[in-house]
Amino acid sequence: MKDGFKIRKFMVLAMIVGWMSVVLAGCGMSSNVASNSPGSGSAAANTKQKTYVVATRGTFRPFTYTDDQGNLTGYDIEILREVEKRNPDIHFEFKVMSVDAAFLAMESKQVDVIANQIVYNEKRADKSIFTKEVNNYTSRKLAVRSDRNDINSIDDLRGKKVAVTSSSEVTRQLQSYNETANPPIDLVYTDKGATETMNLVVTGRVDASPLYEVTIDDAAQTLGLAIKSSGPVIASDPTRYALRKDDDEQALADKIDATIHAMREDGTLQALSKKFLGKDYTVPQM
């Protein structure tokens, strides 16, 4: 009897152990399924996320600049942050550099995207992809000292020193104007940012510079520079992002385009323009 009792007791214990093993195995399997399911954890969520390096000037307020807390922000930057927010598989890492340096870095595959009010350039189209959706339209006017009233048009620039950047579309416009101008405009080439260029104007080292109206007004209001925008809009170009020319970058460009299109449709793009630029620059300004 005692032996029979022991056998039955052993069998019961064996059944309990077996049952617990099944339960624990089931729990383990459920845990594995959950951890591999989409959005179940940060590690899983980041498995397919790809980081793209974005080059930006960082001193071109209000498009790309550092705020009072030391954070990089601006219109061009926040559009990409919204793209990142709506596409969890994309992560942008920003690096500050000049536009010319950025294109060289993109050729050597050190950066993937350039965010700096980029205007389509036929010469660079061989090596670069330009997004199709327009971020905003520029509104360039002549920046002059606030006490000057003698410069109100391009014609008034003849014989005067004008600061320009080599990569600007409006620079090519002034170069073309100089082909027949007498006397020609004295173009002073600089790789400095907008604030430094405006300092050239304020200090009298140059007479004027074709800059964004919103940048000029912002500098006068926030930095207290003795500068103003003069005359009518002399150029209004659509701005985009530039990417390295390869299949992976084309796929990224397509995602950026699709997202910006959606942002335009739901009003987010216009809201960002009003927040950073003061009004809706997502439509042509001329």
Domains and CATH numbers, the chain: 48-136+239-277 (3.40.190.10), 140-235 (3.40.190.10)
Q: What percent of the chain has pLDDT over 90?
A: 77
pLDDT score recorded for residue 168: 83
pLDDT score recorded for residue 11: 45
Q: Would you give the DSSP letter of residue 95?
A: E
**What is the distance between the alpha carbons of residues 156 and 150, in angstroms, rounded to a whole number?**
7
**What is the distance between the alpha carbons of residues 199 and 194, in angstroms, rounded to a whole number?**
9
Please enumerate in sequence order all residues whose Cβ is within 8 A of that of 217, keeping only pairs 6 or more positions apart, or say none: 229, 278
Query: Is residue 9 over pLDDT 50?
Result: no
With cut-offs at 50, 70 and 90, classify the pLDDT of residue 130: very high
With cut-offs at 50, 70 and 90, classify the pLDDT of residue 17: very low
Please answer whether residues 35 and 47 qualify as being in contact, where contact means their C-beta atoms are separated by less than 8 angstroms.
no
**What is the distance between the alpha carbons of residues 136 and 76, in angstroms, rounded to a whole number?**
9
pLDDT score recorded for residue 121: 87
| Mean pLDDT rounded to a whole number for the chain | 86
pLDDT score recorded for residue 123: 87
User: What tokens does 26 get?
Assistant: 């089931």
Query: Is residue 12 over pLDDT 80?
Result: no
pLDDT score recorded for residue 286: 78
pTM for the full predicted model: 0.76
Out of 25-29, 64-68, 184-188, least confident range? 25-29
pLDDT single digits (tens) 45-92: 455 899 999 999 999 999 999 999 999 999 999 999 999 999 999 999
